[in-house]
């Protein structure tokens, strides 16, 4: 693949020095959904799927982007205020990185770049944040600048909001701070990454529901709506408890225990009480899941994944029939636990099993969930081994 990409680069941008190359991985979130932007933890892991970016610095501020995956070529100039392409355009992720860095550093140099990736898009595996991170690393290198990975992750988490999603900081952080063989516990505000070794004898399989959830379209609005309703619930409970100056769930829980908060939430309408219940119980599940992973407590980890899915389906309502059916099929195929991963509304399920049971699980899914189900174009693969 690399030889092909180098050749293509020279075809596109002409002879000259060989481009520099870098990689940024996608991720699967093992547990902790819709908690990061509220300052509660998550437990993702980077996977062996990535964005590769070949680039050559330029003397001016122009960024030329080409795709080896068939996206149309794009061009823009790096500045502190970059007008976006049309909503949903892939070039906006590069613009997000460029603007965030320009705001931090003043003007940076531009680059000629070629992007390739094998992270399934719109699948909840963070192909978009990997693209943002890859572009940022390239622009930093082109501008002979560097930033500590934790600081860069925080900068890009804010920067990616450029595309219109009120996202948290999980994706950029795991992309930049993950370690091979480990999951990554992340705490936020400030960002604190903590590698957790994956016990031997544990394996994760990623199964695509064949329903795409492009962040750029309806899923983005639904994502932002979840953000708003959970924030609204938090504010109402804080007001009831007479707590002022609360900006995040993490702050509220530091002052009042989870039980007290849930009790105060009893007075809210169910449409707010249920999302709040999800955020609070999910944050607690992450802590228990990290302890279970450290202790090698396989069945317990699986149970927590199932509880997480039930909460995302019932309380937060970000699942869909296909994801529920697929998670159920994973159970039928012997998984200790399975849950939707990422923001929801489609995309993938992640399932926990023993390494020697992985093939049987996949065969079961082929014979059940996938049998006879139409495969939409643009989903070349639907079963992946999640190798950290
Ligand atoms: C998306 C966002 C993350 C996180 C998840 C849901 O992936 O980018 O910050 O909020 O959804 O857990």
Decide: 339 in ligand 1 pocket, CB within 6 A.
no
> Is 171 an annotated catalytic residue?
yes
Measured by CA distance, the residue closest to atom 11 of ligand 1 is: 343
pLDDT grade for 382, boundaries at 50, 70 and 90: very high
pLDDT for position 106: 83
Rounded to whole angstroms, the Cα distance separating 241 from 261 reads: 8
Indicate which atom in ligand 1 lies nearest the CA of residue 35.
Answer: 12
pLDDT for position 107: 72
DSSP 271-318: HHHHHHHHHHHHHHHHHHHHHHHHHT-HHHHHHHHHHHHHHHHHTS--
Average pLDDT of the chain?
96
- Nearest one of 230, 254, 252 to 239, comparing CA atoms: 252
Q: Is the pLDDT of residue 361 over 90?
A: yes
pLDDT for position 240: 96
Decide: 149 in ligand 1 pocket, CB within 6 A.
no
**What mean pLDDT is predicted for residues 365-380?**
92
pLDDT for position 2: 84
Q: Is the pLDDT of residue 105 over 90?
A: no
Decide: 343 in ligand 1 pocket, CB within 6 A.
yes
pLDDT cut 70: percent of the chain above it: 99
pLDDT cut 90: percent of the chain above it: 91
Mutate to test the pocket of ligand 1, among 343, 345, 347 (most ligand atoms within 8 A of CB): 343
pLDDT for position 86: 94
pLDDT for position 216: 57
**What mean pLDDT is predicted for residues 37-44?**
98
Contacts of 206 (CB under 8 A, 6+ apart): 28, 47, 125, 341, 348, 349, 350, 351, 383, 384, 385, 386
Query: Strand pairing partners for 156?
Result: none
pLDDT grade for 218, boundaries at 50, 70 and 90: confident
Decide: 342 in ligand 1 pocket, CB within 6 A.
yes
- 232-260 per-position pLDDT tens digit: 999 999 999 999 999 999 999 999 999 99
Which value, in Å, is the radius of gyration of the alpha carbons in the chain? 21
pLDDT for position 122: 87
- 8-33 per-position pLDDT tens digit: 999 999 998 999 999 999 999 999 99
**What mean pLDDT is predicted for residues 309-335?**
98
Q: Is the pLDDT of residue 215 over 70?
A: no
- 324-357 per-position pLDDT tens digit: 999 999 999 999 999 999 999 999 999 999 999 9
Listed range (254-268, 282-296, 304-318, 372-386) with the worst mean pLDDT? 372-386
Tell me, in angstroms, the distance from the centre of ligand 1 to residue 33's CA. Answer: 7
Decide: 116 in ligand 1 pocket, CB within 6 A.
no
């Amino acid at each position: 693949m690399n030889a092909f990409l180098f050749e293509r680069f020279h075809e596109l941008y002409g002879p000259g020095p060989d481009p520099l190359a870098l990689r940024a991985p996608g991720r699967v979130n093992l547990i902790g959904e819709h908690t990061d932007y509220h300052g509660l933890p998550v437990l993702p892991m980077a996977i062996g799927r990535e964005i590769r970016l070949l680039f050559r610095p330029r003397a001016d501020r122009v960024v030329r982007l080409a795709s080896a995956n068939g996206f149309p070529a794009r061009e823009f100039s790096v500045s502190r205020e970059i007008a976006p392409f049309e909503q949903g355009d892939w070039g906006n992720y590069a613009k997000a990185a460029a603007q965030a860095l320009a705001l931090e550093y003043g003007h940076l140099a531009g680059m000629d770049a070629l992007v390739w990736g094998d992270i399934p898009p719109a699948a909840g595996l963070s192909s978009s944040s990997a693209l943002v991170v890859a572009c940022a690393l390239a622009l930093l290198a082109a501008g002979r600048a560097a930033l500590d990975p934790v600081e860069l992750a925080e900068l890009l988490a804010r920067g990616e909001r450029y595309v219109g999603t009120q996202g948290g900081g999980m994706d950029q952080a795991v992309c930049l701070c993950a370690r091979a063989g480990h999951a990554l516990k992340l705490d936020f505000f400030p960002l604190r990454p903590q590698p957790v070794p994956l016990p031997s004898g544990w394996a994760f399989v990623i199964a695509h529901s064949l329903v795409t959830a492009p962040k750029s379209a309806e899923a983005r609005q639904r994502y932002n709506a979840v953000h708003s309703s959970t924030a609204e619930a938090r504010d109402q409970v804080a007001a009831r408890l007479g707590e002022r100056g609360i900006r995040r769930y993490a702050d509220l829980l530091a002052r009042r225990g989870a039980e007290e908060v849930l009790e105060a939430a009893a007075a809210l309408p169910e449409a707010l009480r249920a999302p709040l219940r999800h955020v609070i119980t999910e944050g607690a599940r992450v802590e228990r899941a990290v302890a279970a992973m450290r202790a090698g407590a396989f069945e317990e980890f699986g149970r927590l994944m199932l509880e997480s899915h039930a909460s995302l389906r019932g309380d937060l309502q970000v699942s869909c029939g296909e994801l529920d059916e697929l998670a159920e099929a994973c159970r039928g195929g012997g998984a200790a636990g399975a849950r939707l991963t990422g923001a929801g509304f489609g995309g993938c399920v992640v399932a926990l099993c023993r390494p020697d049971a992985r093939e049987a699980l996949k065969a079961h899914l082929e014979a059940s969930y996938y049998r006879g189900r139409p495969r939409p174009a643009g989903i070349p693969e639907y079963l992946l081994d999640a190798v950290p």
